[in-house]
C-alpha cells in the first residue's frame, strides 16, 4: 500500500471507533487529519490523542478541501445523511455496516457516488483477512472442486444477557440478521459470488426480553422483530447457501461457515474476525489445516478503508449494497412466504494476495 498519504476525516467516535483508530493510526498510506462527533468533549479528546489531528464539527470536516476520504462511523440512521453530504463535497466515503438504514437510501448513496465520480466502501472488512481470503484461494484453486453448497450459522441467546442497553437489537432495523448477517453473507458472496434470489422463514420466541446486566438489570423490553431467521441463498453460480441467524438459542457446535464442493469441503473461521484456521477435507482424505495463503495479515477494522485508498476497493459500496438487499429480501420473503428475486448484483472482488503487516503499517 505504497504511494502518497491520504488525509482522512472520521465522523462518529463511538465504541467501534477505537478499533478503527488502532488500525489507521499505524497505517502508512493515510493520516487521520480530523475527527468529529456530536459530543464536543469526545471529539476534543480523540483529536488530542492523535498527532496532528484537528477537532472539527461534522460540517467543518465535510467542507475541508484537504480531506479526501471520510470514514463514517455514525449510527445506522445517520449513515445516509453523512455519506451523501461527503459525496456532495467530492469525497470518497467508507462506512460501517450497514451502508444505510434502508435499501432505498443505500441506492441513493451509490447513485450519487456514480454521478460525483467518487468511491464508496463499506464494512465488514473482516472478509479481507487471512481467514476468509485463504478459504477463497482454496476454492479458486479448485481444492474442493466446483462448489455446490454452503452453510452459515450464528447462534446466541440474545444480547440482553450482556448489553446494558439492548433495546435497539429488538426494534425495527435490529434483529440477528441485520446485526450479524453482514459478516456471514458478505463472506458467502466473497466465496461463491453474487446471489440472484432468496427464500426466508422467520420466527419470534417471545414478545419481551429481560435485561440481565448493568443498571437496568431486571427491566423488560419489548421485542418488535423476528429473532430467528433461516434463509436460502441462490447464487448466480448455481451454488445454494443456507443461513441461520438467531437470538433464540444457546449455542452451536457447528462451524461458522462450511463450503462443500464435489471433491471436498471447507471449514471457514469466524467471519467476525480477520484470521483463523481454514480446514479442508478432500475426497479420500481427512481434515487438514491450510496455511494462510491470501489476505491481509494481522489486520483490524479499517483495513477496508486502506484497501479502498489503494484501490481497487474489495470491501466496496457495491458489495455492501448487494448484501443489504439480500438481507432485506430475506426478511420480505419470510413475511410473504414468497421467493424474492434480487435486482442488484456484484462481481467477486479480486482476491487479496497474502500481504504482511509490514507492507501496510508504519514500523
Whether residue 362 lies inside any domain: the answer is no
pLDDT (average), residues 67-96:
96
Q: Do both 100 and 144 map to the same domain?
A: no
- Please state the rounded mean pLDDT for residues 241-264: 97
Are both 110 and 167 inside the same structural domain?
no
Residues 162 and 247 in one domain: yes
Give yes or no: residues 148 and 249 share one domain. yes
- Please state whether the peptide bond connecting residue 98 to the residue before it is cis, i.e. omega within 30 degrees of 0: yes
Q: Which cell numbers in the block locate residue 32?
A: 487521520
Domain count, the chain: 2
Tell me: do 203 and 333 sit in the same domain.
yes
Alpha helices in 64-175 (DSSP H): 76-88, 103-116, 130-140
| Alpha carbon distances (Å) from 95 to 88, 121, 158, 317, 355 | 16, 6, 26, 9, 23
Q: State pLDDT tens for residues 39-65.
A: 999 999 999 999 999 999 999 999 999
CATH, residue 146: 3.30.360.10
Residue 2 has pLDDT above 60, yes or no: no
CATH of residue 68's domain is 3.40.50.720
Q: Is 334 found in the same domain as 251?
A: yes
Q: What is the pLDDT of residues 210-246, one digit of tens each?
A: 999 999 999 999 999 999 999 999 999 999 999 999 9
Pair (173, 277) in one structural domain: yes
* Per-residue cell: 148: 455446490
**Cα 349 from Cα 140, distance rounded (Å):** 12
Host domain of residue 98: 6-122
Question: In the structure, what pLDDT confidence band is assigned to residue 312 with cuts at 50, 70 and 90?
Answer: confident
Averaged pLDDT of the chain: 96
Amino acid at each position: 500500500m505504497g504511494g502518497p498519504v491520504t488525509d482522512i476525516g472520521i465522523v462518529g467516535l463511538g465504541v467501534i471507533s477505537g478499533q478503527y483508530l488502532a488500525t489507521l493510526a499505524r497505517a502508512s498510506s493515510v493520516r487521520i487529519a480530523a475527527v468529529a462527533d456530536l459530543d464536543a468533549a469526545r471529539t476534543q479528546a480523540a483529536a488530542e490523542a492523535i498527532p496532528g489531528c484537528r477537532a472539527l464539527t461534522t460540517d467543518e470536516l465535510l467542507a475541508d478541501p484537504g480531506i479526501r476520504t471520510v470514514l463514517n462511523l455514525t449510527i445506522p440512521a445517520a449513515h445516509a445523511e453523512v455519506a451523501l453530504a461527503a459525496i456532495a463535497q467530492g469525497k470518497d466515503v467508507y462506512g460501517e455496516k450497514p451502508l444505510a438504514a434502508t435499501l432505498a437510501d443505500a441506492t441513493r448513496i451509490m447513485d450519487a457516488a456514480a454521478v460525483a465520480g467518487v468511491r464508496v466502501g463499506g464494512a465488514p472488512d473482516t472478509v479481507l483477512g487471512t481467514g476468509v481470503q485463504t478459504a477463497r484461494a482454496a476454492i479458486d484453486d479448485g481444492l474442493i472442486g466446483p462448489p455446490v453448497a454452503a452453510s452459515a450459522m450464528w447462534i446466541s441467546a440474545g444480547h440482553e444477557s450482556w448489553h446494558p442497553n439492548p433495546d435497539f437489537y429488538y426494534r425495527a432495523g435490529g434483529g440477528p440478521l441485520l446485526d450479524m448477517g453482514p459478516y456471514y453473507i458478505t463472506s458467502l458472496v466473497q466465496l461463491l459470488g453474487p446471489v440472484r434470489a432468496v427464500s426466508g422463514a422467520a420466527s419470534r420466541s417471545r414478545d419481551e426480553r429481560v435485561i440481565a446486566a448493568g443498571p437496568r438489570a431486571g427491566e423488560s423490553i419489548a421485542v418488535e422483530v423476528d429473532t430467528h431467521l433461516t434463509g436460502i441463498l441462490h447464487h448466480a453460480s448455481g451454488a445454494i447457501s443456507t443461513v441461520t441467524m438467531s437470538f433464540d438459542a444457546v449455542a452451536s457446535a457447528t462451524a461458522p461457515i462450511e463450503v462443500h464442493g464435489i471433491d471436498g469441503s471447507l471449514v471457514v473461521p469466524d467471519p467476525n474476525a480477520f484470521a483463523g484456521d481454514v480446514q479442508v477435507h478432500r475426497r479420500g482424505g481427512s481434515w487438514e489445516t491450510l496455511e494462510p495463503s491470501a489476505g491481509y495479515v494481522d489486520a483490524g477494522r479499517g483495513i477496508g478503508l486502506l484497501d479502498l485508498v489503494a484501490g481497487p476497493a474489495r470491501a466496496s459500496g457495491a458489495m455492501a449494497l448487494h448484501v443489504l438487499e439480500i438481507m432485506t429480501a430475506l426478511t420480505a420473503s419470510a413475511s410473504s412466504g414468497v421467493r424474492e428475486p434480487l435486482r442488484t448484483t456484484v462481481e467477486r472482488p479480486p482476491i487479496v494476495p497474502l500481504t504482511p503487516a509490514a507492507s501496510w503499517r508504519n514500523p
